[in-house]
Amino acid sequence: MTDAKVIPFDEDSRARRGGGRSRARKKTSPSSGAAGGAAEHGPLTPVPDADAGAPAAGGRGKAGATGKAGAAGDASAAEAEASGGIPAQSGGGRTDGDGDGDGGQARAASSQGREGAGRGLDGADPDEPAVPSLGAVLAGAADRLLGGHWERKVASGLAFLRRRVTGDYEVDEFGYDAELTDQVLMSLLRPLFDNYFRVEVRGIENIPSEGGALVVCNHSGTLPMDGLMAQVAVHDHHPAGRHLRLLAADLVFMLPLVNELARKAGHTLACSEDAQLLLERGEVVGVMPEGFKGLGKPFSERYKLQRFGRGGFVATALKTGVPIVPCSVVGAEEIYPMIGNSRTLARVLGVPYFPLTPTFPWLGPLGLVPLPTKWTIQFGTPIPTDTYPPEAAEDPMLVFNLTDQVRETIQHTLYELLVRRRSVFF
């Protein structure tokens, strides 16, 4: 039984902990008897040749399944582990597709029955309660899955769906769909933010709780992932729940689908008219003055800030009198290390650069997977602009000096964060 040695994998121990949790909850849940029955039935089901994979993977699958059987079937964990070999295979065979690492809760539910698991893995699935015959069973499953408040979640999901299908929601003049952003787009980005890049957010309190502010950010990473992550950072971490309205390049608004999503997420074209209008309305506007120069710079020049345009962002901040919040993003530079640039392909496709990374385009779509670097987003001390007279925006010297000040602040913060960073990936 070499399998037993594999058990202390983090994931598996979590599975067992989760199992313990679900056992505790079982006392209150009316339908867990049925669940237990199903789980007991599980190990006995003969599934021939369920797992033909590598031994290590098989071992992990078995271990997970034993944890599950032990939890739901009310057998002790040790017993289940001991009986590992044969039943675990059937468990592994049954639960393929249960690939998300959401610990024991999802696993416990999946052991309850194929139909329940297949339908109920996604908590927001509005179809779930539509099968009344399974109602009670599903209620139990959903209770475990979503921690008891599932009715409310499903109901609010339905209310959301109702508003969407009838068109009964508001967008602002820039096409920002606050509801869609909060409920859907941010939820899609959050796993990337929390689990993949493990973004550490510092100094979020430097963004004022009300009134306009201009967040100026360094730009890197070949694809504008850093802007999206900064948006999630402000959305999820700011105490006043502010929304970062990003200014994006015109290329974004030329691409089908991308332009639609960008507008709905609250982005708009990087031009002084739009920026000024947003700032006058008291929005937090995010701008990356480096633009494509920063985004598509070679890997060898990482963390070297490029020229900050003509300082148009400073002039806009001066005109509207909003503070400038410098923002430094560490970690985005390494997600797609750009070791080359195919100018010919870029010209053919009409894009500013065509990145060649160690994986792209050699591995095809797989090359689009970013490297899981560890990110830090630091918002610096705001630079006030309301102390200058209104005509200051026309003063090129002042605009250049302020631009340099912002640029230097971001560059120094980047160096500080880099010195403090232990490794690119941790």
Contact footprint for another protein (CB under 8 A): 126, 129-130, 132, 135, 139, 148-149, 151-152, 154-156, 158-159, 161-162, 164-175, 177, 250, 253-260, 263-264, 268-269, 271, 273-274, 277
Amino acid present at 230: A
Nearer to another protein, 62 or 243 (CB): 243
The per-residue DSSP string of 258-275 comes to: HHHHHHHTT-EE-SHHHH
Which residues contact residue 214 at a Cβ distance below 8 angstroms, ignoring those fewer than 6 apart?
Answer: 275, 279, 284, 285, 287, 313, 316, 317, 322, 323, 324, 325
Of 147 and 191, CB closest to another protein:
147
Residue number, 237 or 319, with CB nearest to another protein: 319
DSSP structure class, residue 371: P
Beta carbon of residue 135, minimum distance to another protein (angstroms, whole number)? 8
Helix (H) or strand (E) holding 284: strand 284-287
The smaller minimum CB distance to another protein, of residues 1 and 130, is found at 130
Distance between CA atoms of residues 162 and 179, nearest Å: 13
**Nearest approach, Cβ of residue 176 and another protein (Å):** 10
Contact indicator for 198, 375 with CB cutoff of 8 Å: yes
Smallest separation, CB 384 to another protein (Å): 27
Under DSSP, is residue 245 helix (H, G, I), strand (E, B) or coil? strand
Q: Which residues partner with 326 through β-bridges?
A: 216
Task: State in angstroms the smallest separation of the CB of 153 from another protein.
Answer: 9
Residue number with CB closer to another protein (4 or 258): 258
Calculate the alpha carbon distances from 74 to 3, 38, 92, 140, 344 in Å.
22, 12, 19, 17, 64
Give the SS3 label for residue 209: coil
Q: Is the Cβ–Cβ distance between 106 and 67 less than 8 Å?
A: no
Shortest Cβ 246–another protein spacing (Å): 13
Placement of tokens 């102390």 in the chain: 387
Residue with tokens 């991308």: 258
Smallest separation, CB 306 to another protein (Å) = 22
Largest CA distance in the chain: 81
**Closest approach of another protein to the CB of residue 40, in Å:** 27
Asked if 387 and 394 touch (Cβ cutoff 8 Å), the reply is no
What minimum distance in Å lies between the beta carbon of 154 and another protein? 6
- CB of 11 or CB of 250, closer to another protein: 250
318-321-324 Cα angle (round to 5): 75
Single-letter code of the amino acid located at 165: V
Q: Are 123 and 145 in contact (CB under 8 A)?
A: yes
Q: In the complex, what is the shortest distance from the CB of residue 169 to another protein, in angstroms, rounded to a whole number?
A: 7
Minimal distance in Å, beta carbon 252 to another protein?
8
Phi-psi region of 252 (alpha: psi -120 to 50; beta: other; left: phi over 0): alpha
Closest to another protein by CB, 99 vs 256, is: 256
Instruction: Give CA–CA dist 372/194, Å, rounded.
Output: 11
Peptide bond into 361 cis (omega under 30): yes
